Each structure stands twice: as C-alpha cells, then as structure tokens.
Amino acid sequence: MSENSFDGKAFVLTLPTQPGVYRMLNATGDVIYVGKAIDLRKRVASYFQKSNLSPRIQLMVSQITAIETTVTRSEAEALILENNLIKSLAPRYNILFRDDKSYPYLVLTRHDFPRLAFYRGALDNRNQYFGPFPNAGVIKSSIQLLQKVFRLRTCENSVFDHRTRPCLLYQIKRCSGPCVGLVTPEAYREDIRSATLFLQGKQMEVLKTIEAKMLQAAEAQDYEQAAMFRDQMQALRKIQEKQFVDSSKALDADVIACVAQADGSHIAVNLVMIRGGRHLGDKTFFPKNVQGHDTAAVLEAFIAQHYLNRSVPALIILGEKIQAALLQTLLSEQAGHKITLTTRPVGERRKWLDMATQNAQLALQQMLTRQASQEERLQALQEALDLSGLMRIECFDISHTMGEATIASCVVYDQFAMRNNEYRRYNITGITAGDDYAAMRDVLQRRYAKIAAGEGKLPDLILIDGGKGQVNAAAEVMIELGLNDIPLIGVAKGEARKPGLEQLVYPHEDRALRLPADHPGLHLIQQIRDEAHRFAIQGHRAKRAKVRTASNLEQIAGIGAKRRQSLLTRFGGLKGVKNASIEELQQTEGISRALAEKIYRELR
C-alpha cells in the first residue's frame, strides 16, 4: 500500500467508467507508468487493492503522487495513445523496446535504366521497393548478390548521366555498363524483371527464364552469351542451396518468438521476416523493465510498439497466446486489409517459429554471457581503482591531422554496456592548431558546464585518452566547474603504444597505476578508450573530407563559389569531379576547355 500522501481510493471515485489512458506520476513529476483501460475507474482501482499485487507493482504504487487520465472514444484509440505516450515518455515501469529507425528497403528507382540501392525513409510510389529488411547488412549483401547475378547499376544518377567510359564495376562483371550503352534498354529491362522476380521469391521462374535464354544463345552459336547465362544459373542455384527458409508460396509473414531467463529478469524477442516466401533475416530485441511480466505481456507490448504506424505483413506468427483481437483489428484498419495473428502454426510455419525460438534462446544466452563478462570487468576495475559504486564512465579523445579539422569525442559506458545514443562529438575551433591541451579544456568545459548547472547525469569516472599533460588540463577545468570530486584518470599509451602496457595517470600526482595485461579491469578501460578513439577518428575524417572537398577546388585559380557548386552538383561530389573526363568537365556551365583541362590536371 502507498506510504505517500496520495489517496488512491479517493481519487478513483472521481474517475469515469469510460475507455481511456492513465499516467502515474512520482514526486518529481516524472511519468513512471502509462496504461490503457476499457473502464478507467475499474482499472485504476485495481492498483489500490491490498491483495494480489506483485512486489514490483507495490513498489510502483508506493511512488505515485498523482495520476492523470485522458478519456478516449474506444479501447482501440486508448491503445494508440498509450503506445505513443510510452514511446515519447519511456516510463520506468512500462515494458520498453528500443525505437529503432525505420527499417531499410531495397529500391529499384524509376529510370530508363533503374538503379539498385539501399533506402530508408518515406516510400515514393514512383519507385519499386522490396522489404522491409531486418538490418542494413542484409540489404548490402542482397545488393552484392544482385550485382553479381543480374549486373544492375548502383551508381547515382549524377554519376550515371556524365560517364563516357565504363567504371570498375563493369570491368569486374558487376554491372552491364548501361551508362555508356554497353547493354540495350530491352536487355537491361529483362535483367530488372528477373531481379524483381527473384526478390519476390520466384526463383524457379527466374531460373526457367535464364535457361531459355542460355539455350537460345547456344543455338545461335553465341557461346560467350550462353556461358554468361550458365554462370547466372549456377549462382542462383547456390543461393537456393544456402536459403534456410524458402516457402512454396509467395507469402509475407513475420514470425515472433519470445524467450525468458529462468528468473524473468531478461527476455529476448526474435523477429524473423519472410517476404515473398524468402527468409530475409532476423533481429533480436531485449526490452527494458520486464521484471514481473510474462512473455505474453512482452509480446503484446512488442506488437503495439513495433507495428503501430509501420507497415505490417498480412500474417504474424506468434509463439505465445495473447489477447490478439484488439491488436488484430487495429492493425487491419491501419493496413487497409486483413492482418492475421496466429499462435498455432502448423507445418512449414511451425518450422519458422521453431527457428525464431532457437534464435531468441541463442541471443539471450549470448547477451547474458556478455553481461557476465562486463560485470566481471567492472567489478575488477572498481577494486583496482578503489571506487565502490562505479557504474557510469565517460571517456574523451581528441583527433586531428597536424591540427586540421580537430574533433573531440565523448563516449559513455553505463549499466554494463556502451551507450551509443549518448555519444557526442564536438567541433573544436578558436584554439592554436594542434594544441591538444586546449582542445581537451574546451570539450570538458562545454560538456560539464551544463551538467554542473543540473542538466544531465554525472559520471562516476572520467577517462582521458592521454598522458599527464592532458589529465592536468582536464583536472583544471573540473576544478573551475566545481566538479573536482569526480574521479579523473588518464590512459597513457605504453611503450611502443602496445596494448597491455597502458598506465593510468592521476592528475597532479607522480604516481601511475599499471594493471597486468590480463587484468579484466584493464580490458574494460581498453574497450572504452578504443571506442572513444574510433568515434573521434570517424568524426575527424568526415570533417576533413568535407573541408578538403571544397578546398581542393578552391585552390584552383578560376574556380569560384558558383563554379565549384555547379561542378559538385553535376558530378555528385568531389569524387565524381575527379573521375570526370575533360570533355565531361567542359559541359558544366561556366567551364571552358582550358579551365576543364586545368581542373583535370590539378585534381590528378
């Protein structure tokens, strides 16, 4: 029962008996739980009963200081509102799934010679899309496969429109060279048709078409062409052999299996995507706040958070029996056609579900193993540094090339994992080029001035990728900000910069700590330090490339801002300009023959 001043029983009497959404707030005004109800009064009243409440719910109720409600016209409308609020507020007692970016698609663009490409975003009816795919890696491998078999172009239109000779992809037989007329529009359209059938799961139809072409070419004694078709068939047959799931029907379905750890503290949800009868791959999700929930509740939360306002296949196969009627109705209305949720698959579909269950079990075991390793590493580091309660670590690194395009990175380790969504990069300007101390002072001032003012989380430990000078500069900033009670350590590279020989440097002290090369705590520091280094270098290279894209052209006499923009737009960037011939450069507005020759010469 609640120990705060909030009188839940009295509040319940003020509620209507209509459908709606309720939001539970704590003493600081944060929403800690969002729920839906077909009868608000009855549902909220259930939380203030003395019995039948799990320890988790009892803890939640003890923190309630206020409840807000919104009446809706139906339970379906309440479900939509509940889902939107959970995504935007991320309450600590709701089951939460990471809201990933929209799933990627493979696209064939609308063009006389359609382009094969990776795509993520709103769909355009003018193009032809295939997917969605569970991750970008599946699409990249699919593009490579389609290039190998059907030799479709992948270049941007800005490059395609201005080529006078075939590119390297043509030379290695990954493109048929439509940019320079090495394939007829009819033949290219036939390749597009075959690729489309393949992506729709109609591999046998594609094989029959290619076989007919091979026989026709052989009869015409065009043996080189016949050999090419033979190679296509062999490649497709190898793909079929590797295809783990291949349906006899061109079916679109998602298969969802849920597996829980014995104590219920961790749950894995595996999503397998079947499109056109083909297995496109799978993805595993690890929801937060699952303690006290069974797998059926987790599945219901996943379906609501994953599919509302997103494309839905006609069939969803589930590994648990859930209250599916409302979700099925809502998803069908959203899709504009019937969506079926089934929990009793048979035959081929049962095999798909078994595979998803195995995927979930394996992913859960791997996650628990990684977490155990991380817990061991963190515990060892706590003991080595004598920092009890160490959990959140922030690490900084500076990257530049001879002072050019200086970037500082900050990466975050918290709750036994790297927190990519909390990573930050900082552009460093207004300092002497190459002054790493000034760069470190700048990034720490910008990072922790806001935290000192109460915005954001304080780390338990700050790591600096650098030696004594870097650490002392960092310590001075923290003293100025009044945050000098946060432990701060530098990670100095060892002799010959060899991993395992790092020294941990303390500010304004002569002492340094050197942990054994096999020390788990050192392995954690190396992991975090290397991630900060990678993140800084990645940002620095991107910034340097951007600067040099403009500066390379700026250094050519006669190229002003307008001509530079015309060149970059026409050829799709500096790489396209560098690859262009003199004749192609000359076709750009404002570029004479002499200037085209100059550009061609100076960019080589």
In the chain, the percentage of residues whose pLDDT exceeds 90 is 39
6-20, 251-265, 536-550: the lowest-pLDDT one? 536-550
- Contact criterion met (CB below 8 Å) for 411 and 532: yes
Average pLDDT value over all residues in the chain:
85
Please choose, from the candidates 255, 509, 433, the residue with its C-alpha nearest in 3D space to the C-alpha of residue 359.
255
229 and 277 share one domain: no
322-331, 507-516, 543-552: the lowest-pLDDT one? 543-552
- Contact criterion met (CB below 8 Å) for 126 and 141: no
Question: How do strand 66-71 and strand 20-25 relate by DSSP bridges?
Answer: antiparallel
Q: Residue 297 has what pLDDT?
A: 92
Q: Residue 394 has what pLDDT?
A: 97
27 and 159 share one domain: no
Q: Which residues, at least 6 apart from 524, have a Cβ–Cβ distance to it below 8 Å?
A: 374, 377, 378, 380, 381, 413
Element (H, E) at 223: helix 223-242
Q: Which residues pair with 401 in a beta bridge?
A: 404
What gap in Å lies between CA 312 and CA 256, rounded to an integer?
Answer: 13
Q: Residue 194 has what pLDDT?
A: 84
| pLDDT at 242 exceeding the cut of 60 | no
Domain membership flag for residue 398: yes
297 and 219 share one domain: no
In the chain, the percentage of residues whose pLDDT exceeds 70 is 93
203 and 119 share one domain: yes
| pLDDT at 67 exceeding the cut of 80 | yes
Instruction: Please compute the mean of the pLDDT values over residues 577-600 and round it to a whole number.
Output: 84
Instruction: Write the CA distances from 77 to 69, 205, 476, 478, integer angstroms.
Output: 14, 45, 55, 50
Instruction: Please compute the mean of the pLDDT values over residues 371-380 and round it to a whole number.
Output: 91
Q: Enumerate long-range contacts of 160-164, CB under 8 Å, 24 or more apart.
A: 160/113, 160/115, 162/570, 162/571, 162/576, 162/580, 162/584, 162/587, 163/584, 164/581, 164/583, 164/584
At 168, phi and psi to the nearest 5?
-65, -35
| pLDDT at 497 exceeding the cut of 80 | no
Instruction: Write the CA distances from 155 to 141, 174, 187, 308, integer angstroms.
Output: 16, 12, 19, 34
Domain boundary among 180, 209, 242: 242
Instruction: Please compute the mean of the pLDDT values over residues 446-464 and round it to a whole number.
Output: 89
| pLDDT at 97 exceeding the cut of 90 | no
Question: How do strand 20-25 and strand 31-37 relate by DSSP bridges?
Answer: antiparallel
489 and 591 share one domain: no
Instruction: Write the CA distances from 221 to 91, 187, 416, integer angstroms.
Output: 71, 18, 66
Query: Which comes out higher in pLDDT, residue 241 or 17?
Result: 17
| pLDDT at 91 exceeding the cut of 80 | yes
Q: Residue 566 has what pLDDT?
A: 80
Domain boundary among 544, 565, 591: 544
Q: State the CB neighbour count (10 A cutoff) for residue 491.
A: 26
404 and 535 share one domain: yes
pLDDT level of residue 245 (50, 70, 90 thresholds): very low
Please choose, from the candidates 54, 55, 64, 51, the residue with its C-alpha nearest in 3D space to the C-alpha of residue 10.
64
Q: Which residues pair with 418 in a beta bridge?
A: 413
Query: Which comes out higher in pLDDT, residue 603 or 99?
Result: 603
71-75, 97-101, 104-108, 262-266: the lowest-pLDDT one? 97-101
| pLDDT at 235 exceeding the cut of 80 | no
Domain membership flag for residue 383: no
Instruction: Write the CA distances from 161 to 204, 279, 583, integer angstroms.
Output: 35, 36, 13
Q: Which residues pair with 315 in a beta bridge?
A: 253, 340
Element (H, E) at 329: helix 325-335
Q: Which residues pair with 47 in a beta bridge?
A: none
CATH number for position 563: 1.10.150.20
Could you tell me the residue range of the domain that residue 566 belongs to? Answer: 555-602
Domain membership flag for residue 384: no
Q: Kindly tell me the burial class for residue 92, based on how many C-beta atoms sit within 10 Å of its own C-beta (0-12, 13-18, 19 or more).
A: middle
Q: What is the pLDDT of residues 332-352, one digit of tens each?
A: 988 888 999 998 888 888 988
Domain membership flag for residue 345: yes
| pLDDT at 496 exceeding the cut of 60 | no
- Contact criterion met (CB below 8 Å) for 221 and 270: no
120 and 80 share one domain: no
At 183, phi and psi to the nearest 5?
-140, 140
Query: Which comes out higher in pLDDT, residue 74 or 394?
Result: 394
Domain membership flag for residue 2: no
270 and 296 share one domain: yes
Domain boundary among 60, 89, 118: 89
pLDDT level of residue 3 (50, 70, 90 thresholds): low
Domain membership flag for residue 259: yes
Query: Which comes out higher in pLDDT, residue 240 or 363?
Result: 363
Q: Residue 391 has what pLDDT?
A: 93
Q: What is the pLDDT of residues 272-321, one digit of tens each?
A: 888 777 777 888 999 988 888 889 999 999 998 888 777 788 899 998 88
pLDDT level of residue 549 (50, 70, 90 thresholds): low
HSE at residue 124, side-chain half, CA atoms within 13 A, is 10
CATH number for position 29: 3.40.1440.10
HSE at residue 574, side-chain half, CA atoms within 13 A, is 13
Q: Residue 282 has what pLDDT?
A: 86
What gap in Å lies between CA 33 and CA 546, rounded to an integer?
Answer: 45
What gap in Å lies between CA 604 and CA 600, rounded to an integer?
Answer: 7
* pTM for the model: 0.67
Instruction: Please compute the mean of the pLDDT values over residues 99-105 and round it to a whole number.
Output: 70
| pLDDT at 25 exceeding the cut of 50 | yes
Site of tokens 């890696």:
137
Q: How many domains does the chain have?
A: 5
| pLDDT at 76 exceeding the cut of 90 | no
Q: Could you give the angle at the alpha carbon of 282 between the alpha carbons of 417 and 249, nearest 5°?
A: 175
| pLDDT at 469 exceeding the cut of 80 | yes
- Contact criterion met (CB below 8 Å) for 202 and 196: no
At 567, phi and psi to the nearest 5?
-65, -45
291 and 338 share one domain: yes
What gap in Å lies between CA 330 and CA 491, rounded to an integer?
Answer: 54
What gap in Å lies between CA 382 and CA 393, rounded to an integer?
Answer: 11
Distance, CA of 203 to chain centre: 30
Q: Enumerate long-range contacts of 9-12, CB under 8 Å, 24 or more apart.
A: 9/45, 9/48, 11/44, 11/67, 12/41, 12/44, 12/45, 12/48
| pLDDT at 388 exceeding the cut of 90 | no
- Put the strands of the sheet holding 340-342 in their side by side order: 278-285, 267-275, 253-260, 315-318, 340-342
569 and 517 share one domain: no
208 and 277 share one domain: no
CATH number for position 277: 3.30.420.340
Q: Could you give the angle at the alpha carbon of 550 between the alpha carbons of 549 and 553, nearest 5°?
A: 95
Site of tokens 């961790």:
266
Domain membership flag for residue 387: no
236 and 117 share one domain: yes
Task: Kindly report the length of the chain.
Answer: 604
What gap in Å lies between CA 588 and CA 583, rounded to an integer?
Answer: 9
Q: Residue 456 has what pLDDT?
A: 81
pLDDT level of residue 41 (50, 70, 90 thresholds): very high
| pLDDT at 209 exceeding the cut of 80 | no
SS3 state of residue 79: helix
